[in-house]
Amino acid sequence: MTVINKEMVESMKQTRDELKLKTHLMKMDAQDEWEKMEHKYTKLKSNMESASESFSEMSEKFVEANKLALGELKTGYDNIVSSFK
């Protein structure tokens, strides 16, 4: 192998190592985000189950709070999906 080829291989190895680390960190970030979203989902689900069976009987404040929670969940899930692209 010539000097140029050894340098090319070493450069590729360095790039590979960097990508491996970034991929690992991305997975950790996605896992952290997932855990946050699971907590919010569980809380929202609990709120909805404990609420009146008829949405028309819910207070406006309750409805708005849950709309906000749903928006946060959607944004969080979208962020997780984006991290895998």
Cα angle, residue 26 at apex, residues 24 and 30 outer, rounded to 5°: 120
Q: What is the pTM of this model?
A: 0.57
Size (the chain), residues: 85
Q: What is the pLDDT of residues 22-41, one digit of tens each?
A: 888 888 888 888 898 899 88
Residue by residue, DSSP assigns 8-32 as: HHHHHHHHHHHHHHHHHHHHHHHHH
Strands of 1-85, DSSP E: none
Residues whose CB falls within 8 Å of the CB of residue 84, separated by 6 or more in sequence, listed in order: 26, 30
Place of tokens 């009987």: 57
pLDDT at 52 over 50: yes
